[in-house]
Chain A
């Protein structure tokens, strides 16, 4: 099976090349037989990629250490689930995984193209096949998981212990599912540009796939934050690392697109802008992959001295040049079909929101690349870390939060003064009350105060919108509140699903603002020793060390410290933090020691204990009080649920005819209308 998989990989490369050639030729010559051949070539590529992937999974699960990839990323004593996840744990496997997802997505997208958009198929299929050729060729020639060692080691090196975490098993696939989904809108955008069919058909396909991409990126980013928090032990979840930034960039532009597409659907405006956002989102996914896999930027996730960087750079530049050419030569076809009536309208508000989202994306990209720019200009290396990103992005993020509330309150086309007063009165008052109350309670952090004031404002806008909809349903249909809520959301998933996403954003920002009150303490404790600390809310915590213990489990030595915890004198149980040293089948240490954090989560605040090390039987610990962290995960989940509601297909409802029906005599209809 392994040899079949390896062979399938090379056949997939040929199939993808065939699909690209015949699709483009079929599109250019108008020959349906070539188009059909290209389509079948794409399906065959998918089948080959599935075989190639099964081959690698077989090699991993049967511990075929003759493959360098298997020997480098797994060992015989690793739990099966992580052996399975090792498929995407390393460079070559992750590239194969990317190509696998792309081939499956491509086959689905082309198979289920609506009849009205059939003209786009040759070009979309060809574009997807070209992207596939690039990824499969990269796997074949630069990062081949089937590369063999000149000898067969008795055991493999194993997986970095920090990657042996459930979050790490499911976080990368979600990110890849999100990244790769940006290829489909890109391919259909190119197809629409080539054929100049920039109407509603391509937009519908693009919107569905953009939503899918956004959904998986949201889940992937949230899971990544959770993994960093529980596994890395530095008591945070976002470090503005280039890899994190790379995932955020397409998410930001994708979010901007999902807002601006509504303006095109409703008003026929922003046609150029939407095309630019679609292709930018894809190009940012590729560019992010390039900067993190080329080694040009220092990152905690770096694939050092990776050979795929130059390939990604070439592909990125080619794709960018092609896109610029097509957009530049189709500007007339992208003219708006309606004009803006007022600067104070929902479409204008969405545009302001777009400017801020793209502005944040630019600032993140700028900060990520600034060390390279600085080195070019000044010749000296600098670091652009969290202080920089926080300085630049916190004000922009707060502006975005405010706009999240403003958009839904303003009417389409043109808002009247009475409309604005009616819509804004309660949310503005709510936000101000929240701010004043928090100030009166002693909150003095400026950014946090603004964040909570805006969060109060946006939350009130969401509640107001739901309340209006529920009241209307209750008045018209006499439904109970739960039924009205369910039907309100079910009948207008895009609108109310969007509000649920906004609710998730509010929760996230409220949780982010909690970081302003984080407190860290370094403590050294011998067995039986006690320490008292005060958390940001004024609770007194007492920690009594139960001493340091050591043990050996499946594939690791464990050094652990247990703390008996009391809050305001009330026992809270025992909290344990570990230091782990993983070893191979010969009990030889593998990798650096890793930390297993002790976390006592709660809605208000996490207690976070890290065993940094042990000296002379004294445990060196960092005890952190991290306010509101749990809400980061909840906010991410709410956003994902909202995204799912928006994505869920809505059956066409048959509207009951309203008014009266006039029956005309036969043959007189035409005369009546002329």
Chain B
């Protein structure tokens, strides 16, 4: 096929494909808009997390401890941030302020940090936490990377030891004549040092 023919046919084929695809698309209707690349905020994601105040309740923690606790609770609007960070970053989110109010009420009700986390997990499920609880299957999440690293390191050591054994130099006498030393011990030491220090 001549180059000119090839280019002409390619252009014709490309044109056909273009108009064919357009026709197909017209039949299917306009697809959903998928062009954005930042998350859509779910403003209706907040649910109420309440517990009756404990008898004679006093605030269970100060503001700094409460803020630290909010760093462990995930805002459910879709931002992937924790409640403290989301509510202090963007007031257009209605979810994190609602979750913050629930935390405040539980703190006022005398609940401990763990009890507050448990209350949020009861309502939202475990995805209310910024990190999975260290229990059950979740341990796999925490331990597998270290296990894999240990296994990798062990495998490398085994391979290296094997290579090292395979590389032990052997001096084979030829026709019963011992292999003469290449240099004196002192010369060999100097030579080895020079090689090692090169680069």
Q: A interface vs B, CB < 8 Å?
A: 6-11, 13-15, 18, 44, 68-69, 72-73, 89-94, 140-141, 143-144, 147-150, 160, 162-163, 232-236, 239, 241, 269, 298-307, 336, 338-343, 348, 351-352, 355-356, 358-359, 362-363, 366-367, 370, 374, 377-378, 380-388, 391-392, 396, 411-416, 418-419, 495, 520, 522, 579, 592-593, 595, 610, 612-613, 620, 622
Contacts and interface: CB of A to CB of B under 8 A. Distances in A.
Nearest to B132: A382
Given A234-B85, A304-B39, A383-B127, A13 B17 contact: yes
Contacts of B193: 416, 418-419
Given A301-B38, A385-B82, A419 B197 contact: yes
A355 B91 contact: no
Given A91-B34, A336-B163, A7 B142 contact: no
Nearest to A11: B14
5 closest Cβ pairs, A-B complex: A613-B91, A339-B167, A411-B196, A363-B145, A11-B14
A383 B132 contact: yes
B39 A339 contact: no
B153 A72 contact: no
B34 A143 contact: yes
A489 B32 CA distance: 55
Interface stretch (B46-54, B72-80, B170-178): B72-80
B74 A383 contact: yes
A351 B14 contact: no
Contact of B142 (A340, A348, A391, A620): A391
B164 interface: yes
Contact of A300 (B80, B84, B91, B138): B80
Contacts of B13: 11, 14
Given A11-B10, A300-B38, A359 B148 contact: yes
B62 to A, nearest CB: 13
A351 B158 CA distance: 13
Contacts of B91: 579, 593, 612-613, 620
Contact of B152 (A339, A359, A366): A359
A412 B199 contact: yes
A11 B6 CA distance: 11
B29 to A, nearest CB: 9
A70 to B, nearest CB: 10
B80 A342 contact: no
Given A340-B164, A342-B164, A382-B127, A355 B34 contact: no
Contacts of B80: 239, 241, 298-300, 385
Nearest to A262: B199
A520 B88 contact: yes
A456 B39 CA distance: 41
Contacts of B142: 388, 391-392
B18 interface: yes
A595 B89 contact: yes
A622 B196 CA distance: 56
Contacts of A89: 37
Contact of A522 (B6, B82, B88, B137): B88
B152 A355 contact: yes
B185 to A, nearest CB: 14
Contacts of B148: 359, 362-363, 366
B141 interface: yes
B33 interface: yes
A392 B196 contact: no
Interface string B32-45: 11111111110000
Contact of A412 (B84, B86, B160, B198): B198
Contact of A11 (B11, B33, B138, B197): B11
A363 to B, nearest CB: 3
Contacts of B197: 411, 419
> Is the interface on chain B under 10, 10 to 19, 20 to 34, or 35 or more residues?
35 or more
B59 interface: no
Nearest to B133: A382
A23 to B, nearest CB: 15
A306 B31 CA distance: 10
A415 B196 contact: yes
A352 B72 CA distance: 34
Interface in B11-32: 11, 13-15, 17-18, 21-22, 25, 30-32
B17 A385 contact: no
B44 to A, nearest CB: 15
Nearest to B22: A148
13 contacts: A68-B33, A234-B89, A304-B34, A340-B167, A341-B164, A341-B167, A374-B141, A382-B132, A387-B131, A391-B142, A415-B196, A592-B92, A612-B89
Nearest to B161: A343
Interface string B123-135: 0011111111000
A341 B169 CA distance: 10
Contact of B160 (A141, A340, A388, A411): A340
B141 A388 contact: yes
Contacts of B132: 370, 374, 382-384, 388
From A10, A147, A339, A418, name the one whose CB has the most chain B CB atoms within 10 angstroms.
A10
A381 B125 contact: yes
Interface in B112-132: 125-132
B41 A149 contact: no
B126 A382 contact: yes
Contact of B14 (A7, A92, A304, A362): A7
A380 B126 CA distance: 7
Given A10-B14, A147-B25, A239 B141 contact: no
Contacts of A94: 37
Contacts of B55: none
B181 interface: no
B145 A392 contact: yes
A88 to B, nearest CB: 10
B81 interface: yes
Contacts of B11: 7, 11
A343 B88 contact: no
Contacts of B14: 7-8, 10-11, 13-14
Given A380-B126, A412-B198, A160 B131 contact: no
Contact of B35 (A69, A236, A342): A69
A7 B145 contact: no
Nearest to A371: B127
B146 A414 contact: no
Nearest to A351: B156
A339 B35 contact: no
B36 A385 contact: no
A160 B67 contact: no
